[in-house]
Structure 1
Amino acid sequence: MLTASAQDAAGEYVADSHAFGERERMCIVSDRHASILRGTSIVYPEFKKNHDRLREVFFAMARAYKIEDFNRLMEDMDIIDKRVKPSTDYVYVVMDAEQRRNIVYMQKRECSCKRFQVDEIPCPHAMAVLDYTHMEAPKYCSAYYTKEYFKKTYEVSVNPLPDETTWDFPTKVLDNVVLPPIVKGKPGRPTKSRRKGLYEYLYTKTVTCGLCGK
């Protein structure tokens, strides 16, 4: 609760923020009175309260045609809400859309989401760091994703097979009987009607009689 407890020499109200402090993911609910907004900006100067401004800048970026205008709006968005914060030169903290903290180690090519080191390609959190630092993404990708390695995959010739009538099957292979897999029935009554496709739900049509119209 944000309440005034005293008034200083400059005529400013001193709030009880020292007792409450600043906490992560803190939210202030008010009736948006001008005095409350003014007091909040004084007591919590670093509090994020510019989401309306952030929305305006975002849609302005979507309508920008020139790269100069886009870069200028991108700088404004970083000033309003910076979600990528460097811890060191190669360690970054990235906040995702669900406000979860992700630690990215660019030098080790690792991320706390494990996707960077498993796929060996920058995850969305690493891409946010690359965009923030203006670094080149291909340098942090595995060599297996390059065009050179793709060509090496097919540079070895594949020998063609002879006609099927000339194949020599071993006796132990011919004696094997391949049975269908054992399928366990699902609980409940089985469905009789087929599953409709997406367009059948979107474009439903009622079938009527051509004579009576019913």
Structure 2
Amino acid sequence: MIAGTREFKGNTCLQRGLKKKIQGKVEGSRSWVVAGIAQDSFDVDDGGKRGLVDFSNGTCSCWVWQVSGLPCGHVIVVSRFLGEPDCAYYAMSCYTNEVYKSTYEEHINPAHDKSEWEIPDGLVNLQPPPLITKRLAGRPKENKRILLLGEDPTPIYCEKSLL
């Protein structure tokens, strides 16, 4: 249904936290009004700025759908307007449980003991950089620390007043 460079998968089996996120968008977009423009284009009045949803290109004028890969409120309202039972159809395939599980299906072998490591010749042992002892430029920051219970404030003296 949706053409373009992005792959949207018609699978409603999304990761657990994403279903809650989409449900929050559904609740927030209940009062929005949809008007059809063309075959796959819709105008959504969300009470503020209008959203233009184009299913043929897989775009929305708010850019949330393109950037996050999850349906924005405008897409959700249009899918409800079209009578579709689940708007998770418009989420990118990378958010499905199948893709998430396939990410971790390879075995990860633990590292052996450090004494068994094979270290190639010619490696240089790097040391951390030396500590910076030079005072940084600019006005020093004020120490506005909250005093502990019973702690007396430390008096601050100006160098010129000591002369």
Give TM class, smaller chain.
0.5 to 0.7
TM-score by length of 1: 0.43
How far off is 1:166 after superposition? 2.3
TM-score by length of 2: 0.55
Q: How far apart, CA to CA, are the structure 2 residues paired with 1:186 and 1:110?
A: 49
Give the corresponding residue for 2:141. Answer: 190
How far off is 1:177 after superposition? 3.2
Change (3 A) 1:180 1:157: farther
Of structures 1 and 2, the one with the larger relative CO (CA 8 A, separation 6+) is 2
Give the corresponding residue for 1:60. Answer: none
- Name the Cα RMSD after superposition: 3.3
Q: Per the alignment, in what secondary structure is the counterpart of residue 51 of structure 2?
A: strand
Partner deviation per Cα, 1:183-209 (whole Å, 9 max, x = no partner): xx79665242358xxxxxxxxxxx8xx
Task: Verify: 1:116 aligned to 2:65, yes or no.
Answer: yes
Q: Per the alignment, in what secondary structure is the counterpart of residue 102 of structure 2?
A: helix
Aligned residue pairs, count: 115
Identity %: 26
Question: Which consecutive unaligned segments of at least 5 residues does structure 2 have?
Answer: 1-29, 150-163
Change (3 A) 1:134 1:173: farther
Question: Which consecutive unaligned segments of at least 5 residues does structure 1 have?
Answer: 1-73, 196-206, 208-214
Partner deviation per Cα, 1:48-101 (whole Å, 9 max, x = no partner): xxxxxxxxxxxxxxxxxxxxxxxxxx8xx6xxxx6322212321112334x212
Q: How far apart, CA to CA, are the structure 1 residues paired with 2:115 and 2:59?
A: 53
Give the corresponding residue for 2:99. Answer: 149
Give the corresponding residue for 2:77. Answer: 128
Greater CA radius of gyration, 1 or 2?
A: 1
